[in-house]
Amino acid sequence: MSDNKSIRTALVSVYHKEGLDDILHKLHQEGVEFISTGGTRQFIESLGYPCEKVESLTGYPSVLGGRVKTLHPKIFGGILNRRSLETDQQECQEYDIPAIDLVIVDLYPFQETVSSGAAAEDIIEKIDIGGISLIRAAAKNFNDVVIVASKAQYPALLDILNEQGATTSLEDRRWFAREAFAVSSGYDTAIFNWFDGAEGSALRVAVDHSKALRYGENPHQQAAFFGDFDQLFEQLNGKEISYNNLLDIDAAVSMVNDFDETTFVIVKHNNACGLASRPVLVDAWNAALSADPVSAFGGVFATNVPIDKTTAEEINKLFFEVLIAPDYDFDALEILTQKKNRILLIQKEAAGSKKQFRSLFNGVLVQERDTHTESTQDLRCVTEKETDDLQIEDLLFANKIVKHNKSNAIVLAKNKQLCAAGVGQTSRVDALKQAIDKARSFGMELQGAVMASDAFFPFPDCVEIAQEAGITAVIQPGGSINDKLSIEYCNNHDLAMYTTGYRHFKH
């Protein structure tokens, strides 16, 4: 028995009609009969094609303000009846249920209505009942029925109609069924998350777009990216973006988006190895690079202002993987596109979801994304010495960087320039020593610099080492039972210490 099935009758009921006319034209040419409701029926008839009203088939009008139109045995029997099962065919004949071979339906725009800030009663009315039921019924009976559940699948259906006529294979119908259940599951996820609000009683995530990657973190690992990368970025040049590229891109844009001034960041393995803010972009680039030109090789670069020719000429001297900017001057692109593998991205809008996810054991860890940056109002001086406004700016600058680097993390900064960072160490002392050694190796002047820590100091050893290296101001969250020892050392050695978590700071 052939798996190919002919389409003789189509039920069409859609909210979005863009692109539907070509499909209707081809179906009509193939002799397919239409059944439809309301506005869709009027649209079909306006194209000159005959269309039977659902109400004529069911014998019932649309009732309850349009809430009930297609929920009827003659509709669902026509979709769900198994053509190869004799008892189903006998019942369809007995109750005069016509076979429906193609269902084209979409759903009320629930997510768009929520995003618009509509009132709760308007949102509730955009919870589709008939459409979602038609989708599930037709997808379940994919052995006999084709389901098109979104305008995103119109091109695929039109290709089949042009190549095969009004005939589909089992493989075709199964593909459409898979896509249909993706639509319905995503729709239900959005509805649940709206009802659940901030309670977080269960984790429901649905992402439509997916892209297979060459490999994961290592060559032997398979990987894919789920999300709409093109919504956030436009790729102007370069090779295919990798798993590790994506991690560094996320780290780079998360950092640079925290800065309002003209800023350049250089990222390697998700950590900042160079970062500076300057009034002129090329100066920001040069200052960022000088902190660690070795690690910058093969890195991911990001800035928050368009790339000009002068800056492009400097960047062009170094091998890099990815460059991200809000735009590029034409002559800058002429320079940067000389190497075909360089990935050049325009960041179109702020990236990042409100939550972060990490798989763990047999579950998932979820936390809010840390989008908070401290201001002068968030700082509290806990030492006898207070510093000046310029060094306060350096403290806030360093604190933005250390927030993004991997713990244990220490950042040393001066004049809105990252002098060095110690990252990913098993002790905070080791992170500080790493930062000091790196700063000295590249000739960075630490006298009068500031230190930022991503967590409290359990002992005063870090402030002792920092003071000996020339650090004169420190910022940290606070919260150790030994905070008073660190404060005492600062008071005895003319250091200023500020905390961002003063509600937990132990005096």
Are the CB atoms for 6 and 169 separated by under 8 Å?
no
Query: In the 8-state DSSP scheme, what is residue 328?
Result: B
The token pair at 15 is 């909210």
- Position 306 scores a pLDDT of 97
From residue 399, alpha-carbon distances to 113, 249, 485, 497 in Å are 39, 20, 22, 13
The string over 366-378, giving b where at least 16 C-beta atoms fall within 10 Å of a residue's C-beta and e elsewhere, is: eeeeeeeebeeee
pLDDT given at position 398? 95
Query: What is the per-residue pLDDT for 209?
Result: 83
Residue 333 CB neighbours (<10 A): 17
Cβ count near 405 (within 10 Å): 25
- Distance in angstroms (rounded) separating the CA atoms of residues 105 and 309: 51
CA 338 centroid distance within chain? 30
CA distance 225 to 212: 6
Which positions ≥6 away from 278 have C-beta within 8 Å? 261, 262, 284, 287, 416
Reduced 3-state DSSP string for 291-308: CCHHHHCCEEEEECCCEC
Supply the pTM of this predicted model: 0.84
**Bridge-based pairing state of the strands 271-277 and 167-168:** unpaired
Q: Which amino acid is at 198?
A: A
Q: Which of 54, 57, 50, 13 is nearest to 33 (CA)?
A: 50
Count CB atoms within 10 A of the CB of residue 308.
16
- Active-site residue (options: 25, 151, 211, 269): 269
Pure H helices in 303-410: 309-315, 330-336, 389-404
CB atoms within 10 A of CB 8: 15
Residues in the chain predicted with pLDDT less than 70, given as ranges, are 1-2, 351-352, 501-507
Give the model's pLDDT for residue 56: 80
Q: How far apart are CA 324 and CA 195, in angstroms?
A: 37
β strands within 54-204, DSSP E:
102-105, 146-148, 167-168
Q: What is the DSSP letter of 184?
A: H
Nearest residue to 394 via CA among 370, 371, 369, 411: 411
The answer to whether the CB of 50 falls within 8 A of the CB of 12 is no
The tens digit of pLDDT for each residue in 271-315 reads 999 999 999 999 999 999 999 999 999 999 999 999 999 999 999
For residue 273, the SS3 value is strand
HSE-CB of 31 using CA atoms within 13 angstroms: 4
Residue-level pLDDT at 154: 94
- Burial readout 224-254 (b: 16 or more C-beta within 10 A, e: otherwise): ebeeebeebbeebbbeebbbbbbebbebbbb
**For residue 83, how many C-alpha atoms fall within 13 Å in the half-sphere facing its CB?**
17
- Residue tagged active-site, from 25, 53, 126, 140: 140
Nearest to 173 by CA among 146, 155, 140, 212: 146
Cα–Cα dist 100/81, whole Å: 9
The runs of H, that is alpha helices, within 214-257 are 229-232, 243-256
* Pairwise CA distance, residues 52 & 454, whole Å: 68
Q: What is the largest CA-CA distance in the chain?
A: 97
Is residue 385 flagged as an active site residue?
Answer: no
Structure tokens belonging to residue 78: 């026509």
Contacts of 133 (CB under 8 A, 6+ apart): 70, 71, 76
Decide: residue 5, CB within 10 A, 0-12 exposed, 13-18 middle, 19+ buried.
Answer: buried
| φ, ψ dihedrals at 252, nearest 5° | -65, -45
Q: Which residue shows structure tokens 């039921």?
A: 133
239 is catalytic: no
**272 phi and psi angles, rounded to 5 deg:** -75, 120
Instruction: Look at residue 352 in the predicted model and tell me its pLDDT.
Output: 66
